[in-house]
Amino acid sequence: AHNASVLYSYISSIHQVWLQQLYPMLEKAESPLAVSLYDRINDAAALASLINMTLNRSEVRGRK
């Protein structure tokens, strides 16, 4: 459960940088990486969140 929380933290940070900096830069440069990584990074963030919520239910509830 702790590892899921750490994974979620890392992936969330990567996802935030992706959305705010990397994706806009790659898209502006018309890089094929913008398209090929878009779904993978967004899906990884969603999956990490789901795994964290499933394995750390009490911790997630306590944050609300």
Output the pLDDT for position 60: 62
User: What is the predicted pLDDT for the residue at 57?
Assistant: 87
Q: Are 18 and 27 in contact (CB under 8 A)?
A: no
Q: What is the pLDDT of residue 58?
A: 74
Q: Which residue has the tokens 């964290």?
A: 52
Q: What is the pLDDT of residue 62?
A: 59
d(CA 59, CA 64): 9
CB of 45 within 8 A of CB of 12?
yes
pLDDT tens-digit readout, 1-60:
899 999 999 999 999 999 999 999 999 999 999 999 999 999 999 999 999 999 998 766
Q: The tokens 């890392």 sit on which residue?
A: 10
Both structure tokens of 37: 């990584």
Full-model pTM: 0.80
Q: What residues does each domain of the chain span? A: 2-63
